[in-house]
Amino acid sequence: MIKKLIVAGLLCLSATSLYAQKFTFDLNEKSNDKISPIVRDQISEFTLVIRQIVQEEKKAMEKKIAEVDKDLADGKLNSSEATAKKEALANVYSGSINERIQEVNFNLDDIIKQQVAFSIMNGEDPITPKTQQEAIKKYKINNTINGYGSYGYMAFTGKNNDELDKHEKFSSNLTLGLVYERQLSITSPINFLAGGLLSWRTYRLDDDMMFNRDGDGNVGLVKSEKSLDKSKLRSAYFMVPVGFKYNFSKIKRVTDDFTYRPQSKHYIAAYGYGGTLLSSNNIVKGDGIRNKNKGNYNVNNFVYGAEITVGLGIVNLFVRKDFNNYFKDNTFDNRKMIQFGINLGI
Model confidence pLDDT, tens digit, residues 225-253: 888 999 999 999 999 999 999 999 998 88
Tell me the pLDDT tens digit for each residue of 101-132. Answer: 777 766 666 666 666 655 655 555 554 545 56
Can you give the pLDDT at residue 21?
A: 39
pLDDT at 108: 64
Mean pLDDT of 75-79: 84
CA 323/CA 121 separation, integer angstroms: 58
Q: In this predicted structure, what is the pLDDT of residue 16?
A: 42
For residue 222, pLDDT beyond 70: yes
Give the residue with greater pLDDT, 11 vs 289. 289
Is pLDDT at 137 greater than 50 in this prediction? yes
Check residue 107 and give its pLDDT.
Answer: 64
pLDDT at 22 over 60: no
Confidence category of residue 25, pLDDT binned at 50, 70, 90: very low
Annotated domain spans of the chain:
2-126, 141-344
Q: State the pLDDT at residue 308.
A: 97
pLDDT at 13 > cutoff 50: no
pLDDT of residue 57: 84
**Contacts with 267 (C-beta within 8 Å, 6 or more apart), sequence order:** 245, 246, 247, 248, 310, 311
**Identity (one letter) of the amino acid at 317?**
L
Higher pLDDT, 22 or 228: 228
Q: Coil, strand or helix: which one is 116? A: helix
Please calculate the CA angle 303-304-305 and round it to the nearest 5 degrees: 135
pLDDT, average across residues 325-338: 92
Average pLDDT value for the chain: 82
Convert the pLDDT of each residue in 28-40 to its tens digit.
444 455 666 666 7
- What does the pLDDT read at residue 295? 87
Using CA atoms, how far apart are residues 126 and 54, in angstroms rounded to an integer? 33
Separation between Cα atoms, residue 287 and residue 224, nearest integer Å = 10
Specify the pLDDT at position 268: 96
**Please, what is the angle between helix 37-73 and helix 108-120, to 10°?**
150
Stated pTM of the model: 0.61
Among 97, 88, 51, CA closest to 67: 88
Q: What is the pLDDT of residue 101?
A: 76
Asked if 23 and 51 touch (Cβ cutoff 8 Å), the reply is yes
Lowest mean pLDDT among 136-140, 199-203, 318-322: 136-140
Better pLDDT: 219 or 12: 219
The amino acid that residue 202 corresponds to is: T
Mean local confidence (pLDDT), 265-283: 95
pLDDT: which is higher, 6 or 283:
283
pLDDT at residue 277, as a whole number: 96
Q: What is the mean pLDDT of residues 122-147?
A: 70
* Phi, psi at 129, each rounded to 5°: -55, -35
The C-alpha atoms of residue 115 and residue 111 are separated, in whole angstroms, by: 6
